[in-house]
Amino acid sequence: MKTLFSRAFSRIYEIPRKSLFDCPQHRQSLVLTANSHSSIDSNPKEKVDPFSLVADEISLVSNRLRSSAVAEVPELSSAARYFFEHGVEGKRTCSMVLLLMAKSMDKHKPGSSFSCIQDTSRVQLRLKQKLIAEITEMIHVASLIHDDILDDAKTRRGVGSLNSVFGNKLAVLAGDFLLFRALGALASLKNNEIVSLLATAVENLVTGETMQMAATVEQRCSMEYYMQKTYYKTASLVSNSCKAMALLSDQTPKVAMSAFEYGKNLGMAYQFIDDILDFTGTSASLGKGPLSDIRQGIITAPILFAMEEFPRLKAVTEQGFDNSANINTALEYLWKSNGIQRTKELAAKHANLAAAAIDSLPESSSSDVRRSRQALINLTRILTARNK
């Protein structure tokens, strides 16, 4: 169902096939900046709490999401609203990142003779930016619902997965319903460039899931394949949405690309930590069972790094993980290796690249903009230091 949606979307808006982050000059400048930051500053100049800066707006987005998920059929409403209800709505990390990015892109200059006009324009811009956050959350939750169906997952966010509570058929329909609600909201922006960005993200989500499902043994053991799949499944949505926030703010292409790079690298770093927690976390902290990836035959960075140290681990991987003996053998190799530590270092590298993208933005005289940018930098450290 997701593939049909993606294809239809692609035909309508002619999505460019070249990856949006294939920009050698921009990538080189970010790498140079990131290399000057051996690690994220553990004592930032201003200890800004990212959540507190946008808490009110996140609350508004959450309320809007619950309203957007209402359907004519009560059963569909219950299923579509499931992950937007209080207690199971998650941390709203994606909304926090996007709303902070919106604030960090503000070009409003108070005190001018046209301040009244500017204020009206600013309010309209904020409404559009909040709508981008809502659209992104709907796409994100729809993808989680579909992934849980494919994986036959039993839990999500510490509660029963939608498919286990409502059944696969209604879960599929709920996911599709959210996708098309997101499509309707996206169309209301009447901005083809923004539509193309979010359509690309949806296509990437489908591509990433297919890559994971259809991977050969050689592909499962390839770090390059894993990195591309991780970008598609985890980082594409937030990176394209961050770029959308910059474009809505009428920023330059260079600034928009910096916003994209922040989202891309933050998303990658976030997933690397998730991959570590799958081995080191508990059911209570993860909201799902540990070792869920390897039990499904999904090979992630810690095992890939361990494989470099212990090539015999590849033979175990080729046999598959349908039996517990192979899982135990893989874990033995993992704990003897530096796989966990190297994955932490990979997460730190991408967190530094994300911070470098914010550091590369033009200076602003607005204290609100500066605080929002500092919050985005602080967030790179917070998300890579988490234990759940």
- In this predicted model, what pLDDT tens digit does every residue of 306-361 receive, in sequence order? 999 999 999 999 898 988 899 999 999 999 999 999 999 999 999 999 999 999 99
Tally the domains of the chain: 1
pTM for the full model? 0.85
Residue 210 falls within a domain, yes or no?
yes
Which pair of structure tokens corresponds to residue 33? Answer: 């900046």
d(CA 139, CA 94): 11
Residue 6 falls within a domain, yes or no?
no
Percent of the chain with pLDDT over 90: 72
Asked if the model's pLDDT at residue 10 lies above 70, the reply is no
Q: Identify the pLDDT of residue 292.
A: 84
Asked if the model's pLDDT at residue 214 lies above 90, the reply is yes
Residue 28: pLDDT band by 50, 70, 90 thresholds?
A: very low
Residue 8 falls within a domain, yes or no?
no
Residue 291 falls within a domain, yes or no?
yes
Can you state the angle between helices 115-151 and 93-104, rounded to 10 degrees?
A: 150
Residue 357 falls within a domain, yes or no?
yes
Provide the mean pLDDT of the chain: 86
User: Is the C-alpha dihedral spanning 292, 387, 304, 21 positive or negative?
Assistant: positive
Q: Do 196 and 177 form a contact (C-beta atoms < 8 A)?
A: no
Range of the domain at 363: 13-384
CA atoms within 13 A on the CB side of 23: 14
Q: Identify the pLDDT of residue 239.
A: 98
Q: What is the CA radius of gyration of the chain?
A: 21
Residue 4 falls within a domain, yes or no?
no
CATH number of residue 33's parent domain: 1.10.600.10
Residue 74 falls within a domain, yes or no?
yes
Q: Identify the pLDDT of residue 120.
A: 80
Q: Identify the pLDDT of residue 12.
A: 32
Residue 7 falls within a domain, yes or no?
no
In this structure, what are the phi and psi dihedrals at residue 26, rounded to the nearest 5 degrees?
Answer: -65, -40
Q: Identify the pLDDT of residue 227.
A: 98
